[in-house]
Structure 1
Amino acid sequence: MHTTIISLVTFALLASAAPSSKRSGKVIPLVKKSNFAVNGVVNATALQGHVAYLEGKYTNTLAAFEKNTGSAHPAAVAAPTKKRQTGSDSLTDDNSQLWYGKISVGTPATTYTVDFDTGSSDLFLPSSKCGSTCTGHTKYNPSKSSTASDAGKKFSLAYGDGSTVSGEQFTDKVTVAGLTADNQILGSATTYSSGFESSQFPADGLMGLAWPQLAVMSTPFFNTLIQQGSVSAGEFGFKLTADGAELFLGGVNDDLVGGDFTTIPVTQQGYWQVDMDSVNVGSKAVVKGISAIIDSGTTLIVGDSTNVAKFYKGIKGSKDASSTLGDGFFTFPCSSSPSVSLTFGGQAFDFSNTFSLGQASDGSSDCVGGVVAADTGIDGWIAGDVFMSNVYTAFSFDDSTVSFAPLA
């Protein structure tokens, strides 16, 4: 079986525990970068910027879904009526947490680093024509590649403060861990917003791993691999931990899995969106029966304001910190250790160890919780790194499912 790992850094009953099956693969180290806390104290501007970025990303992908399918996404809700307060430079630290690894593009091949994002579907790199905001990044120059071809189209992606990543579309040879997609569509960005400057965004570009329905350009990289027969399984797996993080293309890495998988069907192809049974504090389900998008490109767990308030109401000593940290943020006593979990397919998955983002301020007895309320335009929650770093997550195009398992 032809499978591949990128390091960072079934079906008796759906939504039931199922043993993993053995697959082989290759590994590329992924690197994690985070600026959300300095010496244990949260960077409020970075957090606000990340939420603004997230809101913009979902605006992009919801619009792409409607353009590609001809109908609004079933989970789309009305646009927010007010702009989030994000400080003087809302995108300075947009992407202050990301998981990135290496890819190569063109002939002869040039190596780039990209953020791997299950919440979007496009691949873009900084263009050789990009100005000062691309300084420090490896730039893509299609004139230097014999396999590059101008697609004759522009692209533009808007983010939380109205700034954009934009440029021209090309096709070229793209290789990840020895797996090559020929004539892969990619964006050559002539404009990068300040949040993509190398000091804030160490990866050169971004590679989306969501469904083709969300693509602003055309077929995403992994789906091209599937179409061209380069992988024998349309599945990939993530381990997102501080040590040994990896993305595995073409299956899952059983060596990193510590128990049976719980498998849940995707409810709407586009995002990796599944039904979530509940959000729990201790043994009590404080929020029930909502959907969740599993998004490696999001640090936080993000929900609607009503249900996020219900969640924090279950945590003793929690406080609304909107006036100090920004809309949607809450704190809880650092001296406490709340037990918190998400339940999928009848199985609760604990995220207590990653729930705290750090102290609210230097010397504060309050810590900032990793569950945040935001206007994403989605009727449901988004489960990012605060959740994903506690489980092994498998995404299957073949079966249209997401699966979670304990880490080995």
Structure 2
Amino acid sequence: MRFTLSASLAVLPVLAAALPHETHTSIPISKRSSLRNADGTVDVKALRRHLAAVESKIHRGNAAYERNRGHSLSVVPPATSRKREEGVDFDTGSSDIFLPAADCKTNCDGHVMYDTSKSSSSKPLDKPFTLKYGDGSNVSGKQFSDSVIISGLAGENQVIGAATEYSEGFSSKNFPPDGLMGMGYQSISEFDSPPLFQTLVEQKKVKEPVFAFKMAKEGSELTLGGLNSKLYKDDFTYAAVTKQAYWMVKMDSLSLGDKAVVESASSIIDTGTTLIIGEHDDVAKFYKDIEGAKDASDSLGPGIWTVPCKSIPELSLTFGGKSFPVSKETFNLGPAQEGSDECVGGVGHADVARVGWIVGDVFLQNVYTVFDLGKNQVGFASLA
């Protein structure tokens, strides 16, 4: 899921100090740009770009994992208006940080720049970087080491990409945040460098090696170094990380009503993705029992499916033996076009390189999610 947040004069945001009597740092975050037009219909072009970008991100992460670790990551067989300051997209589906450099001349207008010359701790690493995305977008520049500060927590000697070029997909109108902060594992880092949260843990800057997200249209929050007990209720249900690359866990099932459509599948818990995404055949199996469901790849774009607006299905995902429902509101992305009785479904397909399902915002808005780097597990609890 894409988010921005305010910042002070630091590389990354310094917004909120730890709350009194709390052992964590809470950071208010705001939802990224909507995939809906002003009239409530789905912004199909934006949805196409998003699906392509997710697909490319997974391929790029897989390639980085193979390069960094020497073997493949594939785990399943082939399927049959106010003043802005620095902000980043918090993405558990990637592991690097980049921001536009002060000398960026391409598509950086409207973004706050990272000026390495004004940072006394910045050191050039004499290494270029390029990140390419499936929608044709790319980011390129040079790598630096610097002290990166987020909400008062400083990660020393953190590798960060200073982008000298943003493609159109990262212009401010298409990408409201200034940059991106990856929160996956080092093994999928293009820089082969520890992600910032891992750096904070290793340098003992946080009390506990966990971070958590509440995702909602309003009142969203990222919590670093602990949990915010005000945001959830009941106990957590945990799923162990099966491979330390993405936050990859076993999904017991994906169900329609009481029927499990998919069972015992690998999944990636990804805050940088809006939909729930699987390979084509698996997604087709999911929609098979929904009367009126259509593969709209030819009419709307690759990977997009529609369902009758009057028949939004009851969907649930099961992790660690517990079923978590997905609200009809989050599953329904909106009408395919003005006046249409067909709505775009929150489950789509893409070539996700045989790593399983990508579980994004459509599910995550329904739970409080904790990413436990100490015990290598992901936990879910009901929202308070």
How far 1:318 moved relative to its partner? 1.3
Conservation of the 8 A alpha-carbon contact between 2:25 and 2:225: no
Partner of 1:326: helix, strand, or coil? Answer: coil
Q: Matches of 1:337 and 1:147 in 2, distance apart?
A: 53
How far 1:314 moved relative to its partner? 2.0
* CA shift in 2, pair 1:7/1:330, >3 Å: closer
Correspondence 1:54 to 2:54: yes
Structure 2 partner of 1:361: 337
Correspondence 1:393 to 2:369: yes
Question: 1:166 is matched by which residue type in structure 2?
Answer: S
* CA shift in 2, pair 1:246/1:8, >3 Å: farther
Structure 2 partner of 1:99: none
Q: Matches of 1:7 and 1:56 in 2, distance apart?
A: 22
Q: Matches of 1:144 and 1:65 in 2, distance apart?
A: 34
Question: 1:224 is matched by which residue type in structure 2?
Answer: T
Correspondence 1:116 to 2:115: no
Conservation of the 8 A alpha-carbon contact between 2:26 and 2:228: no
Once the two structures are superposed, residues 324-376 of structure 1 have per-residue CA deviations (whole angstroms, 9 ceiling, x without a partner) of 11122211111123211111111111113310000011101111101001112
Matches within 5 A, 1:193-342: 193-217=167-191, 218-342=193-317
Matches within 5 A, 1:67-216: 67-75=67-75, 112-216=86-190
Q: Count how many residue pairs are aligned between Structure 1 and Structure 2.
A: 361
**Coordinate RMSD, CA, aligned:** 1.9
How far 1:24 moved relative to its partner? 3.0
Correspondence 1:33 to 2:32: yes
Question: 1:286 is matched by which residue type in structure 2?
Answer: V
Partner of 2:26: helix, strand, or coil? Answer: coil
How far 1:28 moved relative to its partner? 2.4
* CA shift in 2, pair 1:29/1:230, >3 Å: same
How far 1:173 moved relative to its partner? 1.1
Question: 2:56 is matched by which residue type in structure 1?
Answer: G
Q: Matches of 1:32 and 1:313 in 2, distance apart?
A: 32
Conservation of the 8 A alpha-carbon contact between 2:68 and 2:188: yes
Conservation of the 8 A alpha-carbon contact between 2:65 and 2:245: yes
How far 1:33 moved relative to its partner? 2.5
Q: Matches of 1:342 and 1:386 in 2, distance apart?
A: 11
* CA shift in 2, pair 1:384/1:36, >3 Å: same
Structure 1 partner of 2:378: 402
Q: Matches of 1:347 and 1:77 in 2, distance apart?
A: 26
Conservation of the 8 A alpha-carbon contact between 1:8 and 1:245: no
Structure 1 partner of 2:12: none
Question: 1:403 is matched by which residue type in structure 2?
Answer: G
How far 1:379 moved relative to its partner? 3.0
Once the two structures are superposed, residues 51-72 of structure 1 have per-residue CA deviations (whole angstroms, 9 ceiling, x without a partner) of 1111111121111111111111
How far 1:316 moved relative to its partner? 2.1
Q: Matches of 1:359 and 1:243 in 2, distance apart?
A: 22
Unmatched tracts of structure 1, length 5 or more: 1-5, 10-21, 81-101, 103-110
Matching residue within 312, 316, 320 for 1:345: 320
Partner of 2:187: helix, strand, or coil? Answer: helix
Partner of 2:230: helix, strand, or coil? Answer: helix
Conservation of the 8 A alpha-carbon contact between 1:24 and 1:253: no
Runs of 4+ in 1 over 3 A off after TM superposition: 6-9
Q: TM-score, normalised by structure 1?
A: 0.85
Q: Matches of 2:32 and 2:180 in 1, distance apart?
A: 14
How far 1:112 moved relative to its partner? 1.6
Partner of 1:42: helix, strand, or coil? Answer: coil
**Range that drifts further, 232-241 or 162-171:** 162-171
Conservation of the 8 A alpha-carbon contact between 1:23 and 1:254: no
Q: Matches of 1:142 and 1:268 in 2, distance apart?
A: 35
Structure 2 partner of 1:87: none
Partner of 1:406: helix, strand, or coil? Answer: strand
Q: Matches of 2:137 and 2:175 in 1, distance apart?
A: 15
Unmatched tracts of structure 2, length 5 or more: 7-20
Conservation of the 8 A alpha-carbon contact between 2:76 and 2:356: no
Partner of 1:348: helix, strand, or coil? Answer: strand
Partner of 2:244: helix, strand, or coil? Answer: coil
Conservation of the 8 A alpha-carbon contact between 2:61 and 2:94: yes
Q: Matches of 1:25 and 1:399 in 2, distance apart?
A: 18
Instruction: Work out the percentage of aligned pairs sharing the same amino acid.
Output: 49
Conservation of the 8 A alpha-carbon contact between 1:126 and 1:204: yes
